[in-house]
A and B are shown apart, each in its own frame.
Chain A
């Protein structure tokens, strides 16, 4: 099972757990329709496109409404802490939520107790909580963007809002240095997929691949395009692809979807997600052969 956990920006959405399906333009979980917008919903949408294309089990999700006060986030943490062992997830991807250090510590302790330890992936504030809790090394995959790799590289920053000025101003060509610093700080997962002008994939401290074509700078403006990469990566890992290959495919697919959608800064993420099946159809076999 691929289990994705995160908040949805619907204040009164209760905690829901179940298989995700498409329902017209929406995601549907236990009869709850969720718009596939920026955040965890975009991540799930991209993962669902991968599982549909590969004809494998769709993602299973744990979601709750939260518009910032942390109530839904706490419900998700507690549900996972109490139920993760019995859910038997093969991949657990943690996403948007309020970063709460002690709850993240409890959750990772439960992950360690699972009979078969799930592949553990974090993006968004789940990644911030993992770093703040000193647990980055327990994670298999982080998917930071350029500012978030600066955050991981900064030993004093509790949140990206506190990264040092010189790291924020670091030129994108120096991202490899930040990756090394993040590993040196024990603030990196085993594999990093750093999303940016050039996407870097690093494994256990070493950069093993980079992706910079097609070059579509406008993608940075589009809310949710980092989420789609994390969603695809989670689904490909769940499908059995090696982590490094899954990362490479996901970074490439996002760029090609942007190209097909003729992305501009006003494009919405749903317009890119729509092109993912076409990208997989055109490119996936050749990418798999070459990696």
Chain B
């Protein structure tokens, strides 16, 4: 039964021209990959991703990234936050990774202190807030298309009043803005506790 299913999948890969992830076919060039434990999940995920208007393709994962099954979904890595959101409730997956290497997302942040403000930097994204009020006075950096929108949404609002970018946005820049926001909130709450204790 499994062999018959796998043969069908291989035929589909061959007919659509898909080979190993990283190759260019059908006008879509991937730089990220979603890894699955179970073959059926990869097929289900491809339908879900395409159903949400994103480009993807079924591929055989490179050996170094192979975890459970011989089928993966190649994606545009920059859309990782949106992919996580649409897949998380629908189909179990193991990882979303860059195709080249197995680099993890940058986890650390930098903090810069000014007289009345604090700037937190996560990768290419920065949030600056007012120490007294906890209001966001600026966001800067980045290059993906949700960043100018989030800038307008965040300006003048309290750190605790804005939505987490990972819940509403689409791209890796937004995910880094999310990291910065988490750190800002953590710093802000710590300062409130110190101030009031």
Contact = CB atoms under 8 A, between A and B. Distances in A.
Interface string B149-181: 101100100000000000001111111100000
A168 interface: yes
B143 A126 contact: yes
Contacts, number: 187
Contacts of B137: 221, 265-266
A174 interface: no
A7 B152 contact: no
Contacts of B99: 158
B70 interface: no
Contacts of A69: 53, 82, 145, 170
B100 to A, nearest CB: 6
Chain B residues touching A, range: 35 or more
A65 to B, nearest CB: 9
Interface stretch (A159-167, A202-210, A233-241, A253-261): A159-167
A266 B128 CA distance: 8
Given A99-B78, A161-B172, A221 B145 contact: no
B138 A266 contact: yes
Contacts of A222: 138, 140
A42 B176 CA distance: 22
Contact of B170 (A70, A95, A126, A133): A70
Contacts of A57: none
B145 A125 contact: yes
Given A101-B76, A161-B172, 16 more contacts: A11-B149, A68-B82, A68-B149, A68-B174, A69-B170, A70-B170, A95-B143, A96-B145, A98-B78, A102-B24, A102-B27, A156-B98, A159-B173, A164-B103, A226-B141, A265-B114
Interface of A: 7-9, 11, 37-41, 66-70, 72-73, 95-102, 105, 123-128, 132-133, 145, 147-148, 151, 156-165, 168-169, 217-218, 220-226, 264-268
10 contacts: A68-B145, A68-B171, A69-B53, A102-B24, A125-B78, A128-B143, A147-B123, A162-B103, A220-B140, A265-B117
